[in-house]
Structure 1
Amino acid sequence: MKKSTIIILTCLFIGFSTSLLAQNSRFTTQGEIEFERSTNMYAIIQKRINKDNEGYMSQFFEQYKKTSPQFKLAKSTLTFSNQLTLFKPIADDSPAAPFFGEDPGVTQINITYTDLNTSQQITQKKVFEETFLVKDSTRTIRWKITDETREIAGFNCRRANALVMDSIYVVAFYTDQIPVSGGPESFTGLPGMILGLALPHENVTWFAKTVSDRSVATNKIIPPVKGKATDNKGLKLTLTAALKNWGEYAKGMFKAFLL
Structure 2
Amino acid sequence: MKKTVFLMALLAFVLIKGQTMAQHAYFPTEGTITYDKTVHVKNLLKRHISTLKDDNFSRTYYQELMDRVSETAVLKKKVSFRGNEMSMESIAETHDPILSNLLRSGLLDYQQTLYQDLSKSISKSTFEIGGSPVLIQDSLLHVKWKITNEYRNIAGYDCRRANGVTLDSVYVVAFYTDQIPLSAGPGTVHGLPGMILGLVVPEQHFNIYATDVKFGSPDIKTVTGRKRDQPMTRKEAHGRLKDILGRWMTDQQFNLLLAAMFL
Normalising to structure 1: TM-score of the pair? 0.84
* Partner in structure 2 of residue 27 of structure 1: 27
* Partner in structure 2 of residue 166 of structure 1: 168
Distance 1:80 1:101, change over 3 A: closer
* Partner in structure 2 of residue 141 of structure 1: 143
Amino acid across the alignment from 1:242: I
Q: Is this contact kept in 2: 1:113–1:224, CA < 8 A?
A: no
Distance 1:236 1:49, change over 3 A: closer
Mean alpha-carbon deviation: is it higher for 114-123 or for 87-96?
87-96
Q: Is this contact kept in 1: 2:153–2:159, CA < 8 A?
A: yes
Amino acid across the alignment from 2:200: A
Please point out which of 239, 242, 245 is paired with 1:243.
245
Distance in 2 (alpha carbons) for counterparts of 1:162 and 1:225: 30
Instruction: Give CA deviations for 1:134-171 in whole Å, capped at 9, x if unaligned.
Output: 11111121211111111111122111111111221101
3-state DSSP of counterpart to 2:141:
coil
3-state DSSP of counterpart to 1:187:
coil
3-state DSSP of counterpart to 1:125:
strand
Amino acid across the alignment from 2:86: T
Instruction: Give CA deviations for 1:20-41 in whole Å, capped at 9, x if unaligned.
Output: 4433434100011111111011
3-state DSSP of counterpart to 2:94:
coil
* Partner in structure 2 of residue 82 of structure 1: 83
* Partner in structure 1 of residue 198 of structure 2: 196
* Partner in structure 2 of residue 180 of structure 1: 182
Instruction: Give CA deviations for 1:39-58 in whole Å, capped at 9, x if unaligned.
Output: 01122233345595998765
* Partner in structure 1 of residue 38 of structure 2: 38
Distance in 1 (alpha carbons) for counterparts of 2:21 and 2:9: 18
Normalising to structure 2: TM-score of the pair? 0.83
Instruction: Give CA deviations for 1:104-126 in whole Å, capped at 9, x if unaligned.
Output: 34123311110111011111122
1:85-234 superposed matches below 5 A: 85-94=86-95, 95-97=97-99, 100=102, 102-216=104-218, 220-226=220-226, 227-234=229-236
Q: Is this contact kept in 1: 2:109–2:260, CA < 8 A?
A: no
3-state DSSP of counterpart to 2:187:
coil
* Partner in structure 2 of residue 254 of structure 1: 258
Amino acid across the alignment from 2:212: T
3-state DSSP of counterpart to 2:134:
strand
Unaligned runs of 5+ in 2: none
Distance in 1 (alpha carbons) for counterparts of 2:230 and 2:94: 26
Mean alpha-carbon deviation: is it higher for 72-81 or for 85-94?
85-94
Alignment RMSD (CA, Å) = 2.8
Instruction: Give CA deviations for 1:61-96 in whole Å, capped at 9, x if unaligned.
Output: 2x22xxx43211111111111111111111233134
Q: Is this contact kept in 1: 2:188–2:262, CA < 8 A?
A: no
Distance 1:147 1:10, change over 3 A: farther
Q: Is this contact kept in 2: 1:84–1:221, CA < 8 A?
A: no
Amino acid across the alignment from 1:25: A
Unaligned runs of 5+ in 1: none
Instruction: Give CA deviations for 1:171-195 in whole Å, capped at 9, x if unaligned.
Output: 1111111111111111121111111
Q: Is this contact kept in 1: 2:29–2:181, CA < 8 A?
A: yes
